[in-house]
Amino acid sequence: MEDKKVFVERDFAYAYSSFGLRFLAYIIDMMVISAIFSIGKFIFPIDPEAKVLGLELTNVIYTIVSLAYFTILSLITRGQSLGKIITGLRVVSVGGENLSTSQILIREIAGRYIQNKFVFLYALALVTPKKQSFIDLFTDTSVVKEDAFKALYTEEI
């Protein structure tokens, strides 16, 4: 008798993270970044009047700390920050392959910078089928609930 493979249609929709859960992860990350920045300011006091290229030095340093935090953690954990770890989220490549270093760098450096300047771009995650923000669409990534995503990929067919 011939073995036939059974095709099981899987509904990935429930694996994509809600906007609210992503926002909670972001709030947690911003608390961590603020703590890191505050400790750094305590150890290395910054003149509140100091400017770099017409920008307040504290804002420049805070932006650098934020971008470094998200980038370094995402590179180390392949798609997670502390906020995402705590909320059970992970950034994945939509194509199913491993998240690439270039996807991480573009998403976490250029993407965060652009979306923080144009905050409304985050709202795309409310209306796209895979709940992707502007930079997710650009880098072909999505934020998923890690346990649901793993279950879909490890489920026996």
Is residue 1 in some structural domain? no
pTM attached to this predicted model? 0.83
Mean pLDDT of the chain: 87
Share of the chain above pLDDT 90, in %: 63
pLDDT tens figures, 106-156: 999 999 889 988 989 988 999 999 999 999 999 999 999 998 877 776 654
Q: Based on the structure, what is the number of domains in the chain?
A: 1
Is residue 138 in some structural domain? yes
- pLDDT above 60 (res 102): yes
Is residue 110 in some structural domain? yes
Per-residue confidence (pLDDT) for residue 157, from 0 to 100: 40
Is residue 127 in some structural domain? yes
Structure tokens at 128: 């796209």
| Residue located via tokens 């985050």 | 122
Is residue 4 in some structural domain? no
Is residue 43 in some structural domain? yes
Print the domain residue range for 126.
14-154
Q: How many CA atoms lie within 13 A of 20 on its CB side?
A: 0
Is residue 3 in some structural domain? no
- Residue 33 — pLDDT band, cuts 50, 70, 90? very high
Smallest CA-to-CA distance from 70 within 36, 39, 104 is with 104
- pLDDT above 50 (res 79): yes
Is residue 27 in some structural domain? yes
